[in-house]
Amino acid sequence: MLPDIDKLSLAQQVAQMVVVRASGYLFDHQIQYPAWEPPARELIHWVQDLGIGGVIFLGASAGELAIRIQQLQNQANIPLLIAADIEEGVGQRFSGATWFPPPMALSAIFRQDQKLGVHYAEKMGELTAKEALAIGINWVLAPVVDVNNNLDNPVINVRAFGENTDEVKELACRFIRGAKKYSVLTSAKHFPGHGDTAIDSHLELPVITHSQTRLTEVELPPFQAAIASGVDTVMTAHLSIPVWDDQLPATLSPKILTGKLRQQLGFSGLITTDALVMGAIANRYGANQAPVMAVEAGVDILLMPVNPEGAIRAVCEAVENGRIERSRIRSSVERIWQAKAKIAYKKTEVSNLTYHIGNLESRNTAKEIVQHSLITHGSLPLSPAKFINLTEVNNSPSAEIPTGLRNLIVVDDSLNCPYINHLAPAICLPTEMGYQTQICDRYHPHPIDLPDNCPTLLQLFIRGNPFRGSAGLNQPAEELLKKLLIYPYLQGLIVYGSPYVWNKFIPLIQPDTPGVFSYGQMAIAQETALLNLFGR
Angstrom CA distances, 480 to 319, 413, 444, 463, 464, stand at 57, 16, 11, 17, 19
DSSP for 218-265 reads: IIHHHHHHHHHTT-SEEEE---B-TTT-SSS-GGG-HIIIIIIIIIIS
Whole-angstrom distance, CA of residue 77 vs CA of residue 81? 12
**Contact, 457 vs 430, CB < 8 A?**
yes
For residue 12, how far is the Cα from the chain centroid?
31
**Contact, 288 vs 258, CB < 8 A?**
no
How many alpha carbons fall within 13 Å on the CB side of residue 439? Answer: 15
Count CB atoms within 10 A of the CB of residue 401. 13
User: Residues 229, 234, 240, 245: what is their CA dihedral angle, to the nearest 10 degrees?
Assistant: 80
**Contact, 132 vs 140, CB < 8 A?**
yes
Catalytic residue among 196, 274, 300, 412: 274
Strand order across the 139-140 sheet: 270-272, 233-236, 185-191, 139-140, 81-84, 54-58, 18-23, 302-303
204, 91, 107, 233: which is closest to 466 by C-alpha? Answer: 204
φ, ψ for residue 334, nearest 5 deg:
-60, -45
Contacts of 85 (CB under 8 A, 6+ apart): 56, 58, 92, 93, 141, 142
221, 108, 130: which is closest to 181 by C-alpha? Answer: 130
Active site annotation includes 413: no
Contacts of 71 (CB under 8 A, 6+ apart): none
Q: What's the sign of the alpha-carbon dihedral 343, 348, 349, 355? A: positive
103, 210, 84, 187: which is closest to 148 by C-alpha? Answer: 103
368, 434, 358: which is closest to 113 by C-alpha? Answer: 368
With b for 16 or more beta-carbon neighbours within 10 A and e for fewer, the 225-243 pattern comes to bbbebebbbbbbbbbbbee
Catalytic residue among 202, 238, 356, 377: 202
Helix (H) / strand (E) element for 165: namely helix 165-179
Contacts of 503 (CB under 8 A, 6+ apart): none
Active site annotation includes 274: yes
Beta bridge partners of 405: 435
Active-site positions read 202, 274
